[in-house]
Amino acid sequence: MRFRRISFPISALLSIAAIALFFFHGLNFGIDFVGGTLMEVQTKAGPADLAKMRSTIGGLKLGDFQLQEFGAPNDVLIRISEQPGGDEAQQAAVQKVRDALGDEVDYRRVEVVGPSVSTELLAYGTIGLVLAIGAILIYLWFRFEWQFALGAMIANVHDLVLTVGFMSLTHIDFDLTSIAALLTILGYSLNDTVVIYDRIREMLRRYKRMSMPDLLNVSINATLSRSIVTHLTVAISLLALLLFGGQAIHSFTATMMFGVVLVGTYTSVFIASPILIYLGVGANRMEGAAEEPEPPKPQAAATPPQRTRTRR
């Protein structure tokens, strides 16, 4: 628990860094959210000549586009930005590229998202995240006290913020599967936090005289071995996915790995529990009451206003 003096500032710093990355470096939004065309092609005769392809497609004057190798040397990923002119224009662009590349390539995958659908998906994605956070908050409120619910939320939103920062840094594709990864990270690291909270609640009932920091320490130590084993098992399943799952879900798996394994463990132990002290849990404990209530460190954008300590 002493660590909270170190961990809170570190977390705050990392969160701010992540948010800065989000605003300045931006996310590599996939076509799901900004529209456009994605084509995965495989050249039939030997490795792909990217330069030649680039000039062929450049000559079609379709605006911004990206070409990159995707796995094997004859696999190329072509991404064309959204064409002006509504949904029909996207289809016209696809046809042009098909005509230009002709028979030299096999079309492994073609995805075209027009402006109407992309705005919807973006809206749904954001609403989904907010909805999930809200629903889980309500559920936790029922099962635990409000301080637990809030603490868990702050810790886990902080998880999401750091994961988004990671995605911004690595320039990973951000599309619908990324939202799926974020939601899963949210659900799963809450999983973790709930286990610890459950233990804390049990300890609070059992040892009425233990100071909060000690009690939290005991709870965390008690659940530590379980946490390690579980995180290892999830890590190895994700590792299997990362190694064998192929390129198609690579971005999804990498994001999950970061969020669930690295960040999730850290926050459950070092953020979610100490926050309870700040939120006033166990404030009427003997030694614990001697603690000065420091103002909660700014946690991303979810800073709760200074609350008066409530009696449990």
Partner 1 sequence: MLFFTRWKAAAILLTAFFVCLCAVPNFFPESTVKHWPAWAQRHVVLGLDLQGGSHLLLQVDSSAVRKERLQSLSDDVLRVLRQARIQFTGRAIVGNGVQVHITRDTDMDNALAKLRELSTPLSGILGASGQRSIDVTVNAGVITLTPTDAALTERIRQAVDQSIQIIERRVNELGLVEPTIQREGLDRILVQVPGLQDPSRLKTVIGTTAKLDFRMVDQSMPAEQAAQSRPPADSEVLDGEGGVKYLIEKRVLVSGADLTDAQPGFDQRTSEPIVSFRFNSSGARKFAEATQTNVGKPFAIVLDNKVISAPVIREPILGGSGQISGSFTVQSANDLAILLRAGALPAPLTIIEERTVGPGLGQDSITAGEHAAYAGAALVIVFMFATYGLFGLFANVAVAVNIAMIFGVLSLLSATLTLPGIAGIVLTVGIAVDSNVLIYERIREEVRGGRSAINAIDAGFSRALATILDSNITTFIAAAVLFYIGTGPVRGFAVTLGIGILTSLFTAFTLTRLIMAYWVRMWRPRTVPI
Q: For partner 1, which is the closer residue by CB, 136 or 283?
A: 136
**Pattern 238-277, binding to partner 1, x per CB under 8 A?**
xxxx-xxxx-xx--xx--x---------------------
Burial tier of 155 (Cβ tally within 10 Å: 0-12, 13-18, 19+): buried
Tokens standing for residue 111: 């995805």
Assess 86 for contact with partner 1 (CB under 8 A): yes
Q: Which stretch binds partner 1 (CB under 8 A): 57-65, 77-85, 183-191, 288-296?
A: 183-191
Residue 106 CA to residue 114 CA, distance in Å, equals 23
Q: Which stretch binds partner 1 (CB under 8 A): 56-64, 130-138, 208-216, 290-298?
A: 130-138
Burial tier of 29 (Cβ tally within 10 Å: 0-12, 13-18, 19+): middle
Assess 92 for contact with partner 1 (CB under 8 A): no
In contact, 299 and 154? CB cutoff 8 Å: yes
C-beta of 302: minimal distance to partner 1 in Å?
18
Number of residues that bind partner 1 (CB under 8 A): 75
Residue 280 CA to residue 190 CA, distance in Å, equals 21
Assess 306 for contact with partner 1 (CB under 8 A): no
Q: Which of residues 23-62 bind partner 1 (CB under 8 A)?
A: 40, 42
In contact, 300 and 163? CB cutoff 8 Å: no
Assess 81 for contact with partner 1 (CB under 8 A): no
Q: Which of residues 191-230 bind partner 1 (CB under 8 A)?
A: 191-192, 194-195, 198-199, 202, 222-223, 225-226, 229-230
Tokens standing for residue 134: 């809200």
